[in-house]
Chains A and B, each alone.
Chain A
Amino acid sequence: MPLSTARSNVRVVTLKIDGRDLSAREDETLLEVCREHRIPVPSLCYLEGLSVWAGCRLCMVELVNQNRLVASCATRAAEGMEVQTDSERLRRYRRTLIELLFAERNHVCAVCVSNGHCELQTLAQRLGIDHIRFAYRQAHEVLDSSHELFRLDHNRCILCTRCVRVCDEIEGAHVWDVMGRGSQCRIISDLAIPWGQSETCTNCGKCVQVCPTGALIKQGTSAGEMVKDRHFLPILARRRAR
């Protein structure tokens, strides 16, 4: 469930984000407040309408007068809070995280169907990443083309689990889950069977639309052709909340 569901007895607080005085309901997260006011905070696992995962760590922000960073997607607004969403330190950390993601699997933008429409690529460009300082893992990842409509390319997966959550929380099918530990983690359909053999998949394609990269795509798309449309999600999530 999204953290902010309309409740009647909730208080409204005022806080400062990047020096701007803002008001927020106290059950809203910092990231929700930032999105509302178009303050750009990068994120790859957060998606409006899905539960909070707090795994990509890109939306970490500084709490002024506190030495620690917090994930803005998992931190609620509080009275008198002072938040800094951008700093030299945060930019450096975020760049490192994006580089780590590029080095983890085999992201080759030139041949990717999502080239030009990829959230990972966009963030890399926005953060000014022009090379990767880390050794590439050169992992042997597989491609699951068994589904008649869609395709899963593990080479491009960043394990954000948006697909897992949308399938479970919105579609209610729970086809996807995560198997393994650490860098051995894999997104699996049902009990690690080919997607095409899944008896739970409803062919709805929500997972494909929410996937931030070219990991989940439509069959028959070519480089740069996969444009995703996820405006359905907040609308569906709102209806479900009622």
Chain B
Amino acid sequence: MHLEDLEALAARYHAEETHEQEIRVCVAASCQSSGSLPVLEALQSACAGQGNGRCKVKGVGCMGLCSAGPLVAVAKRHAPLNESVLYRAVTPQDAAEILASSGGAPVERLRCPTDQPFFQRQVRIVLERSGLIDPESLPEAIAHGGYSALIQAITEMTPAEVIREVTASGLRGRGGAGYPTGLKWSTVAKMPGAQKYVICNADEGDPGAFMDRAVLESDPHRVLEGMAIAAYAIGASKGYVYVRAEYPLAVARLETAIRAARRAGFLGARVADTPFGFDIELRLGAGAFVCGEETALMASIEGLRGQPRPRPPYPAESGLWGCPTLINNVETFANIASIVRRGSDWFASIGTQGSKGTKVFALAGRIKNTGLIEVPMGISLRTIIEEIGGGIPDGKGFKAVQTGGPSGGCIPADYLDTPVDYDSLKSLGTIMGSGGMIVMDETACMVDVARFFMEFCMSESCGKCVPCRTGTWQMHALLDRIARGEGTPEDLALLEELCEVVQSMSLCGLGQTAPNPVLSTLRYFRHEYEAKLQNQPLRKPQTQRGTG
């Protein structure tokens, strides 16, 4: 298959569609949980009753503004979200009215304006098809440019050229640490070995983060395409998507997508009738957060206990079953097709010096517009929270925003003008992370926040190494005592010492970064800790004889 054949196929799919208007109902997990499936059914039966074929009702992926769900967009065929009439909190009873209004005057009482900053300030690359296409339909993905980058890569580019493009784009890993993607690819490509693997890490587990879920539920073909391009570039023939079982909808859509891609020849022994062969299998996580750590993830795929091992050797050298393995996050793979299709120069023109492209964030917590956003790197936190997020509800004041989940930290109001990029966030004592952004208002207690994340790390520690297994337990106990107002200055000193030990001595990233929420809240909100300490004189040290 050549690019022209794919374009002809896309044109055919376009020609087959005769409707003028389409009604898009979000069927991603968050809108489903607020009841979008009955809305979809009501609209479909109302549309079938009309029976003139002018209008098509379809389920689509996430449109972003999850707090206003179920969302329904009425638009001209293929018109982007910004040009559609968007309705919020739609119920099945509204179906007839919405259908009657399509192409005419909108139903004002349900209207959700799309000229607000939430929609206008976003730049959509990863989410470009999210909310536009039916995630379960391969033809719709193809009609919107799906798999054209894969065909372009394998028929018109050498693997080295693909890697050069990815390197030149400046793309960095979206899983959290921000390792340069092109460098990772070229390392695996240069490793000797007949068998190599590509793994997509979809074991998203940070509290408050749901970017990967939304991508997989809204546009799964995009991720498969990115993985196939990576496989071609590094010389792999087999790929795995490691997705957590808590995402049943994402799993179901991935399964549908993989089956459809195989049948259409985009996966399999001869991808698009070329000698390049690549197939993808799903592996479901069994609920352990640590399996998002790459060495633990690979152990889990191999059927072993999900525990990290020391690195080096890195997966690039000795990964899955000892073979060179490329492991990237969902969002990283979701960027690849756009980079190949539109060129590295285009991608590198977005973002900042050290952080290129866009980043998807999951806005959560005390903020008006909770949901999924994609913004260019370098945008300020203030723009995200005050403009896109709509600020803090109930007239409360902003206190802090937490990024990076249990490995990240809190950023106070003084630093809201910081640009969002890997290096700026790191200098503030937090990390970009996978994209969770939890906003807290003035009523939040920062000791509670630290305790919450420490409880998470404690219960998610795999138990392999001593500092993480027992250190997080002790830190949680100390935080709990301080939060209850029973802590002493010695407790605080001990907590700080434990932070240092756990950070320096732990085996994997989970343990090494577990103290971050404590360290960052101590850095900016130390007074809150101190205010909770008992001001009693030095009590007798609570010690017990350890030996003998």
Which A residues lie at the B interface, using CB under 8 A? 52-58, 60, 68-69, 71, 74-75, 93, 96-97, 99-104, 107, 109-110, 115, 121, 124-125, 129, 131-137, 158-159, 177-178, 180-185
Give 3 closest A-B pairs by Cβ, nearest first: A185-B463, A74-B310, A182-B461
A-B pairs with beta carbons under 8 Å apart, 22 shown: A53-B464, A55-B466, A57-B505, A57-B507, A58-B466, A60-B504, A68-B504, A69-B505, A96-B498, A96-B501, A99-B546, A100-B470, A100-B471, A100-B474, A103-B546, A129-B547, A132-B546, A134-B494, A159-B463, A182-B460, A182-B461, A183-B463
B466–A121 touching, CB < 8 Å: no
Tell me how far the C-beta of A83 lies from the nearest C-beta in chain B, rounded to whole angstroms.
Answer: 16
A133–B494 touching, CB < 8 Å: yes
B310–A101 touching, CB < 8 Å: no
- The residues of A that contact B7 with a CB separation of less than 8 Å are none
- The residues of B that contact A177 with a CB separation of less than 8 Å are 305
- The residues of A that contact B458 with a CB separation of less than 8 Å are 182-183
A54–B501 touching, CB < 8 Å: no
A54–B310 touching, CB < 8 Å: yes
Query: In the complex, A134→B493 CA distance in Å?
Result: 12
Query: In the complex, A61→B418 CA distance in Å?
Result: 37
Interface size for chain B: under 10, 10 to 19, 20 to 34, or 35 or more residues?
35 or more
B469–A97 touching, CB < 8 Å: no
Check A101/B466 contact, CB under 8 A, given A74-B310, A182-B473. Answer: yes
Query: In the complex, A224→B506 CA distance in Å?
Result: 33
B494–A100 touching, CB < 8 Å: no
- The residues of B that contact A125 with a CB separation of less than 8 Å are 547
Contact pattern, B 494-520, Cβ under 8 Å of A = 1, otherwise 0: 100110010011110000000000000
A181–B461 touching, CB < 8 Å: yes
B506–A57 touching, CB < 8 Å: yes
- The residues of A that contact B310 with a CB separation of less than 8 Å are 52, 54, 71, 74-75
Which B residues lie at the A interface, using CB under 8 A? 288, 305, 309-310, 458-467, 469-474, 477, 494, 497-498, 501, 504-507, 541-548
Tell me how far the C-beta of B482 lies from the nearest C-beta in chain A, rounded to whole angstroms.
Answer: 13
Tell me how far the C-beta of B490 lies from the nearest C-beta in chain A, rounded to whole angstroms.
Answer: 8
Given contacts A99-B546, A101-B466, A182-B463, 4 further A-B contacts (CB under 8 A): A54-B465, A103-B470, A135-B542, A182-B472
Chain B residue nearest to A102 in the complex (CB):
B546
- The residues of A that contact B471 with a CB separation of less than 8 Å are 100
Partner of A129, one of B463, B467, B474, B546: B546
Partner of A182, one of B459, B497, B501, B544: B459
B507–A55 touching, CB < 8 Å: yes
B463–A181 touching, CB < 8 Å: yes
Query: In the complex, A115→B547 CA distance in Å?
Result: 9
Query: In the complex, A90→B501 CA distance in Å?
Result: 10
- The residues of A that contact B309 with a CB separation of less than 8 Å are 54
Partner of B547, one of A56, A96, A121, A134: A121
Query: In the complex, A106→B471 CA distance in Å?
Result: 16
B467–A100 touching, CB < 8 Å: yes
Chain A residue nearest to B545 in the complex (CB):
A131
Chain A residue nearest to B468 in the complex (CB):
A182
Tell me how far the C-beta of A234 lies from the nearest C-beta in chain B, rounded to whole angstroms.
Answer: 22
- The residues of B that contact A132 with a CB separation of less than 8 Å are 543-546
Chain A residue nearest to B511 in the complex (CB):
A57
Query: In the complex, A159→B505 CA distance in Å?
Result: 17
Query: In the complex, A103→B494 CA distance in Å?
Result: 14
Chain A residue nearest to B471 in the complex (CB):
A100
B501–A185 touching, CB < 8 Å: no
Chain A residue nearest to B458 in the complex (CB):
A182
A184–B466 touching, CB < 8 Å: no
Query: In the complex, A75→B310 CA distance in Å?
Result: 9
- The residues of B that contact A184 with a CB separation of less than 8 Å are 463
A124–B505 touching, CB < 8 Å: no
Partner of B474, one of A55, A56, A75, A103: A103
Tell me how far the C-beta of B266 lies from the nearest C-beta in chain A, rounded to whole angstroms.
Answer: 39
- The residues of A that contact B507 with a CB separation of less than 8 Å are 54-55, 57, 71
- The residues of A that contact B464 with a CB separation of less than 8 Å are 53, 55
- The residues of A that contact B463 with a CB separation of less than 8 Å are 159, 178, 180-185
Chain B residue nearest to A120 in the complex (CB):
B547
Query: In the complex, A102→B474 CA distance in Å?
Result: 12
Check A181/B543 contact, CB under 8 A, given A55-B466, A57-B505. Answer: no
Tell me how far the C-beta of B147 lies from the nearest C-beta in chain A, rounded to whole angstroms.
Answer: 40
A57–B466 touching, CB < 8 Å: yes
